[in-house]
Amino acid sequence: MGANLPDRHYLTPLFEPASVAIIGASARTGAVGAVLVQNMRAAGYRGALFGVNPKHRRVQGIPCFPTMDQMPQRVDLAVIATPPATVPQLIVECGLAGVRAAVIITAGFGETGAAGARLERATLENARRHGVRVIGPNCLGIMRPDLGLNATFAKGNALAGSLGLVSQSGAVCTAMLDWARPNKVGFSSVVSLGGSSDIDFGEIIDYLVNDPKTEHILLYIEGVRDARRFFSSLRAAARVKPVLLMKVGRHPVGSRAAVSHTGAIVGSDDVFNAAVHRAGVVRVSTIGQLVAAAQALSAHVRPRGDRLAIITNGGGPGVMAADRAADLGIPLAGLSGTTLQSLQAALPENWSQGNPVDLIGDADATRYRAAVGACLADEQVDGALVILTPQAMTEPTEVADAVIAVARGHSKPVLACWMGEAEVAAGRGRFVDAGLPVFRTPDPAVETFAHLSSFYRNQRALVQVPGPLAMRSPPDVDAARLIIDDVLAEKRSVLSEIESKAVLAAFGMEVAKTMVVHSAHEAVLIAGELGYPVVLKVDSPDITHKTDAGGVLLNLNNAQAVRAGYQQILDDVARNRPQARISGVAIEPMSVRPNGRELMVGVIRDPVFGPAIAFGAGGVAVEVHRDRAVALPPLNSYLVAELIRGTRIAQLLGPFRKMPAIKMEALESVLLRVSEMVCELP
C-alpha cells in the first residue's frame, strides 16, 4: 500500500496509508469511535488497524493502546474522534509518534465561536510544529474504496470507481454515497474537508489530478481559504480531467450560512463564476445536477461538442427537451441528408422529418435501434438523448436493451430518459446495470449533456494566455501610480472624478475633459470654453452615486442654466447628504450620441480572488437591470469577446432596428486597457 509511496506526494499518508489508528475507538453502540472501527473492518482495510483508548486493550477485534507512543509500529494516518479540548495535545502526540496525517472528525472548533476558534488555532499550530497534515475538523472523514479505507462515520461503504468527490459538507457526502451505491456509481476517493483549517481544496485537487484511480473530480464548495492555490489546482486538473463543482452561498443569506458552517470566506459569486470558467471547470447549480453529472461521468459520458439529437416516441417530451436545450444554449443537431434518408427508410412516413426525431407512439425496439444508430453515425451529432414514454405498443425493457446495444457500438454519449414509474422501472434498471445515465424527465438529462459538453468549450478559456498590448501605445504607469500614491498618502480610499480620469488617461483611454469649479461664475466661464451643452456633477469624496444625491445635471445649454444648475446641485446635495464634504462641482462637455449605448465597465475587488473586471449595461438603473458579466484579468481579444457575449446588452451592440452597430474595436480597446490597468495597479 502506501508504505513505499511517501516520495510520490506529501499527502500519500492520507490517501494511501499502510497503517491507521482510530483515536477514540469504542465498542459503545452509536459512538462515532465505534462506527469508525466498524466501517474500517467492513470495508476490508488491508493495512494495519489500531485503536487508541486507555480503557480497552481490544475494540471490536482490533488491538487497542492507551496512547500513540505505545503503538507497535509507526502509523501513517490517525483518525481522531474525541472531545474537542483533547485534540490539540493529541496532535502533538501524533507528531511525536511519527504520524504524518490526521483526520479530525470532532466538531466544536471555529464554527462554534471564539472558544472553538482558539482550540482550532492551537490544533493547527501544533500540527505545523510537528509536521502533521490535518483534514477537518468537523468532517465526515475520508474513503478510498479500492484500498478498503473507510475512515468515516457514514453508513455503509462506497463502491470503487473513477469519481473523486471532495466536499466541505459531510451531509452532502452521505447523501451522494447513499444515492450512488444502488445506481452502481463508484468512487476513487471521498474526502470531507469540514472546517479545512489546514488541508483545503487546492491540495486535495493537486493529489487527485495525479491519481491514476481518479478520472473525474466533483467538488461541493461553501467557501475557499487559499484562492491562489485553489485556482492553480483547478487549472491544472481541468487540463487533464473533467472537473465539475457546485458552490453554495450564491446569495447573502446562503453566504452567512456557509460562513457559520465552515468559517470560510465567501466572495462574490460572479467573481467565483469567472474564476472557475477561466480555469476550464464546469459549475452546476443544484445537488440534483451534481448527482446527474456524477452518474454521467461514471458512465464515461464525454461529449466532444454540444450538438444534441433527441429521439422520442412522444412529441410533448421532445418539445420539452428542445426547449430546455434552447434555454441552455445547446443547439439541436442538424441531421445530414444521409441520416434523413436512413430515418425515412426505417420510420413511418408520418415521423417528424427532423430533430427532435419523433418515432410516433407505436415505436418498438427495432424503430428505436434504427433511429439511435442513424443519429450516432451522423458527424453533425455529438450526443443523443433517447426518450421513452409508456405506450401500449412499446415494451420499455426491450427498447432499453436495443438502445444499450447501439450505444455500446459508438463512442458518442447516449443519455436515456424513461418517463413514468411502474411501467418503465425495469427498463430504467437495465440502463443502470449497463452503466448508462438514465433520467426520469427530460430537463435534467439535457442539463447534464449541457454541463458535460461545456467542459470542452471551457477548455478554450483555459488555454488563453494574454500577452502584452504590443500594437498599442504603452501606458504611463508611473504617472498613474503617483496619483494613487498621493491619494493613499492623504488616507483616502476613493479617487475623485478628476483623479479617476487622469488614471484612465494614463492608460490610453479617452476621457471627457473635466474641470472642477468653485463658484457659479467660474462654472459659466469654463462652460463657455468647453462649449455647450455641458454636464455638472458634484465633486465629493463621500458621494459615490451622485444622481441619488441630486448631484448631476445633464444637457445644460446656456450660461443661465449653468449658473442656476451650480446652485441647484449645492442645495440638493446639502439637503440629501448633509454630512458629505463637497470639494466643488465638476463640469465637462455633454456627449450627445443619438445612437449610443450606455455601458458599464468596472473593477471589483473580491476578498477571495482579488480584482475582477465587470462589464454590462450602464445608466442610473444599473443595479436594477443587473446585466453584467465578470472576468478575471489579464484579458485578450478572445476573452473580451466572451465577456461581452455574457451580457444581455450584447444583443444591442450590433445593428438594431435603425441604430448602426457600435465600434466593437473601441469597446475591446477599453476592456483591454482596463485589464492592463488592473494588472499594473492591482
Quick check: 5 pLDDT over 70?
A: no
DSSP calls for 464-497: ------TTSPPP-HHHHHHHHHHHHHTT--S--H
Quick check: 38 pLDDT over 60?
A: yes
What pLDDT shows up at residue 71? Answer: 95
Task: Supply 174's cell numbers.
Answer: 452521505
Identify whether the C-beta of residue 281 lies closer than 8 Å to the C-beta of residue 458: yes
State the pLDDT confidence band at 596, using cuts at 50, 70 and 90: confident
- The amino acid that residue 261 corresponds to is H
In a domain, 471, yes or no: no
In a domain, 522, yes or no: yes
What average pLDDT does the segment 463-487 reach?
Answer: 81
- The amino acid that residue 415 corresponds to is L
Give 338-390 pLDDT, tens digit per residue.
999 999 999 999 999 999 999 999 999 999 999 999 999 999 999 999 999 99
Number of CB atoms found within 10 A of residue 470's CB: 6
Pairing state between β 515-517 and 599-606: unpaired
State the pLDDT confidence band at 469, using cuts at 50, 70 and 90: low
Quick check: 117 pLDDT over 70?
A: yes
DSSP calls for 645-658: HTSSGGGGTS-BTT
452 and 317 co-located in one domain? yes
In a domain, 117, yes or no: yes
Quick check: 592 pLDDT over 90?
A: no
Distance CA 638, CA 73 (A): 57
Quick check: 495 pLDDT over 80?
A: yes
What average pLDDT does the segment 271-285 reach?
Answer: 89
Label residue 471 exposed, middle or buried (CB < 10 Å: 0-12, 13-18, 19+).
Answer: exposed
The mean-pLDDT minimum among 66-75, 407-416, 470-479, 570-579 falls in: 470-479
Identify whether the C-beta of residue 359 lies closer than 8 Å to the C-beta of residue 368: yes
57 and 21 co-located in one domain? yes
Identify whether the C-beta of residue 380 lies closer than 8 Å to the C-beta of residue 336: yes
Which CATH number is 315's domain given? 3.40.50.261
Total number of domains constituting the chain: 5
556 and 494 co-located in one domain? yes
What pLDDT shows up at residue 4? Answer: 42
Distance CA 415, CA 382 (A): 12
State the pLDDT confidence band at 72, using cuts at 50, 70 and 90: very high
313 and 424 co-located in one domain? yes
Pairing state between β 534-539 and 187-192: unpaired
Identify whether the C-beta of residue 214 lies closer than 8 Å to the C-beta of residue 164: yes
* Cα distances (Å, whole numbers) of residue 187 to 133, 212, 362: 23, 12, 40
Which CATH number is 529's domain given? 3.30.1490.20
The mean-pLDDT minimum among 33-47, 107-121, 647-661, 664-678 falls in: 647-661
3-class DSSP state of 44: coil
230 and 318 co-located in one domain? no
Return the closest-CA partner of residue 311 out of 358, 258, 380, 252.
Answer: 358
Q: For 555, phi and psi rounded to 5 degrees?
A: 60, 45
Q: What is the DSSP secondary structure assignment for residue 146, as one 8-state letter?
A: G
32 versus 279: which is more confidently predicted? 32
What pLDDT shows up at residue 472? Answer: 67
3-class DSSP state of 290: helix
Q: For 652, phi and psi rounded to 5 degrees?
A: -100, 0
* Cα distances (Å, whole numbers) of residue 8 to 75, 95, 161, 567, 612: 18, 21, 22, 73, 36
Average pLDDT, the chain: 91
Distance CA 619, CA 351 (A): 51
Q: Which of 538, 569, 589 is the last residue of a domain?
A: 589
Quick check: 625 pLDDT over 90?
A: no
Q: Which of 537, 555, 589 is the last residue of a domain?
A: 589
Quick check: 254 pLDDT over 60?
A: no
* Cα distances (Å, whole numbers) of residue 5 to 12, 133, 163, 623, 649: 7, 16, 22, 54, 55
Distance CA 121, CA 143 (A): 26
Q: For 605, phi and psi rounded to 5 degrees?
A: -105, 105
Q: For 295, phi and psi rounded to 5 degrees?
A: -60, -45
The mean-pLDDT minimum among 115-129, 225-239, 553-567 falls in: 225-239
In a domain, 118, yes or no: yes
The mean-pLDDT minimum among 107-116, 260-269, 442-451, 506-515 falls in: 260-269
Task: Supply 82's cell numbers.
Answer: 474525541
In a domain, 463, yes or no: no
In a domain, 669, yes or no: yes
What average pLDDT does the segment 311-336 reach?
Answer: 96
Quick check: 67 pLDDT over 80?
A: yes
The domain in which residue 9 lies consists of: 1-147
308 and 286 co-located in one domain? no
Distance CA 102, CA 78 (A): 5
Cis peptide before 660, with omega less than 30 degrees from 0?
no
Which CATH number is 53's domain given? 3.40.50.720
662 versus 385: which is more confidently predicted? 385
242 and 95 co-located in one domain? no
What pLDDT shows up at residue 353? Answer: 95
Quick check: 250 pLDDT over 70?
A: no
What pLDDT shows up at residue 468? Answer: 67
355 and 413 co-located in one domain? yes
287 and 163 co-located in one domain? yes
What pLDDT shows up at residue 2? Answer: 47
Distance CA 45, CA 18 (A): 10
Quick check: 457 pLDDT over 80?
A: no
- The amino acid that residue 213 corresponds to is K
Q: Which of 281, 298, 315 is the last residue of a domain?
A: 298
Identify whether the C-beta of residue 348 lies closer than 8 Å to the C-beta of residue 301: no
End-to-end alpha carbon distance in the chain:
47
3-class DSSP state of 589: strand
CB within 8 Å of 343: residues ≥ 6 apart: 335, 351, 357, 370, 371, 374
Q: For 553, phi and psi rounded to 5 degrees?
A: -130, 130
What average pLDDT does the segment 516-520 reach?
Answer: 94
322-339 core/surface letters (b: 16 or more CB in 10 A; e: else):
bebbeebebebbebbeeb
263 and 393 co-located in one domain? no
Give 166-219 pLDDT, tens digit per residue.
999 999 999 999 999 999 999 999 999 999 999 999 999 999 999 999 999 999
170-191 core/surface letters (b: 16 or more CB in 10 A; e: else):
bebbbebbeebeebebbbbbbb
Which CATH number is 612's domain given? 3.30.470.20
261-291 core/surface letters (b: 16 or more CB in 10 A; e: else):
bbbbebbbbbbbbbbbbbbbbbbbeebebbb
Distance CA 551, CA 542 (A): 12
**For a pLDDT cut of 70, what percent of the chain falls above it?**
95
The mean-pLDDT minimum among 300-304, 513-517, 522-526, 558-562 falls in: 300-304
Label residue 435 exposed, middle or buried (CB < 10 Å: 0-12, 13-18, 19+).
Answer: middle
State the pLDDT confidence band at 45, using cuts at 50, 70 and 90: very high
In a domain, 618, yes or no: yes
334 and 439 co-located in one domain? yes
Distance CA 194, CA 658 (A): 57
The mean-pLDDT minimum among 4-13, 465-474, 476-485 falls in: 465-474
439 and 347 co-located in one domain? yes
In a domain, 651, yes or no: yes
